[in-house]
Structure 1
Amino acid sequence: MPATEALRALIPEAAKDIRLNLQSTLTGTSSLTTDQKWGVAIASAIAARSPRLRAALVSDSASVVDAKVVEDAKAAAALMAMNNVYYRFRHMIGKQTYSDKPARLRMNRLAAPAHNKADLELFSLAVSAIHGCEMCVQAHEKTVLEHGLSEDQVHDAVRLAATIHATAISLEIDATE
């Protein structure tokens, strides 16, 4: 992981815990498959709006995952950028009239992933957790479990998403000084 390690070295001392967590979530014991780990990490870096972290993760993943995994991670980040805003609004407003209206938002990729359905849903769950969309988190968690993944995998995916999000912020701590 040379590109990710180079970025990890840039995390300031104030965020030392994040530096350590990044290493352990990417290289330590996990219930996630290699594809799931990298897909969650890449989708989360995109959701955290960190181009350099995304680039490092994509670069380091190239030798261990199929390009279709990366494409699904990108698709999950893009779709959840839309869905999380829309469905979070419907949940926050709390009016049935809005929930009764059709979304009319295209989400064809969720039905036809490049890699596989369970992993795309897991990537979407991770991004939804970052964006704080309760309805989306619940819906994706349900779908992930229905497709045979475990609660341990859900937990590890969200733990990784949280760490990637914190890494993106940590890389910016000293950037404003």
Structure 2
Amino acid sequence: MSIDALRDLIPAYGKDISLNLSSLANETVLNDQQKWGCFLASAHAIGVGPVVKLIEAHAATLLSPEAMNAAKAAAAIMGMNNIYYRSLHLMKNQEYTTLPAKLRMNVIGNPGVDKLDFELWSTAVSAINGCGACMDAHEGELRKHGTPNVQIQAALRIGAVVHAASRIIASETALRA
């Protein structure tokens, strides 16, 4: 299993992260598409090669090609939106919030998978990228459609742990370079 291979890349000081990867891989509050879409979107949002490769290999055994594409699309579109909307939130001049974004975001309206799954993945990526405005927007959509808070929390936990694992592996790779 690729999660075990990923865990093998984490040194002893990251034991908690390794154990969290294992427990999240076995999480049952999300279905496989929701869970592995979160893993995949999170890995692509961070972009650390070994993590992306191992998570993508495992996700490919559980997700349809459409879901794989949509998870990557969530990482891509949130990579843009999180920067833009976080900037608007942080800027003192609120005039910018009244201007149209003029950015293409069609994939959000038609992601090719269940819209709520895409919203979960976008929430995880928005947490990784630190955009409170986007987290609130996606969480609001999920809550409006009755998504339980434990499912939203699971997506956030996956994003956090994939981020931590990616940072550890990137740091260890840098030490060996």
Which TM bucket (shorter chain)? over 0.9
CA distance in 1, matches of 2:157, 2:59: 19
Deviation (angstroms), 1:38: 0.3
Task: Tell me whether 1:26 sits opposite 2:35 in the alignment.
Answer: no
| 1:12–1:173 CA contact under 8 A, matched in 2 | no
Pick aligned residue for 1:175 from 165, 173, 176? 173
- Indicate the residue corresponding to 1:43 in structure 2: 41
CA distance in 2, matches of 1:22, 1:31: 15
| 1:30–1:156 CA contact under 8 A, matched in 2 | no
CA distance in 2, matches of 1:110, 1:135: 16
| 2:3–2:25 CA contact under 8 A, matched in 1 | no
Amino acid at match of 1:18: I
CA distance in 1, matches of 2:50, 2:174: 16
CA distance in 1, matches of 2:78, 2:168: 23
Q: Which moved more, 1:154-163 or 1:50-59?
A: 50-59
Amino acid at match of 2:46: A
CA distance in 2, matches of 1:91, 1:30: 35
Q: Give TM-score, length-normalised by structure 1.
A: 0.94
Amino acid at match of 1:23: S
Deviation (angstroms), 1:116: 1.3
Task: Tell me whether 1:99 sits opposite 2:97 in the alignment.
Answer: yes
Q: How many residues align?
A: 175
How much is the aligned-residue C-alpha RMSD, in angstroms? 1.2
- Indicate the residue corresponding to 2:4 in structure 1: 5
| 2:3–2:22 CA contact under 8 A, matched in 1 | no
- Indicate the residue corresponding to 1:64 in structure 2: 62
Amino acid at match of 2:124: A
Pick aligned residue for 2:143 from 127, 142, 145? 145
Amino acid at match of 1:8: R
Deviation (angstroms), 1:59: 1.1
CA distance in 2, matches of 1:172, 1:89: 27
CA distance in 2, matches of 1:118, 1:20: 28
| 2:40–2:71 CA contact under 8 A, matched in 1 | yes
List per-residue Cα deviations over 1:69-122 (Å, max 9, x = no partner): 111110000000000000000000032211011100110011011111101111
Deviation (angstroms), 1:173: 3.0
Moved over 4 A (4+): none
Residue identity over aligned pairs, in percent, reads 41
Secondary structure, counterpart of 2:170 in structure 1: coil
- Indicate the residue corresponding to 1:161 in structure 2: 159
Amino acid at match of 1:101: L
Unaligned runs of 5+ in 1: none
| 2:67–2:112 CA contact under 8 A, matched in 1 | yes
Q: Give TM-score, length-normalised by structure 2.
A: 0.94
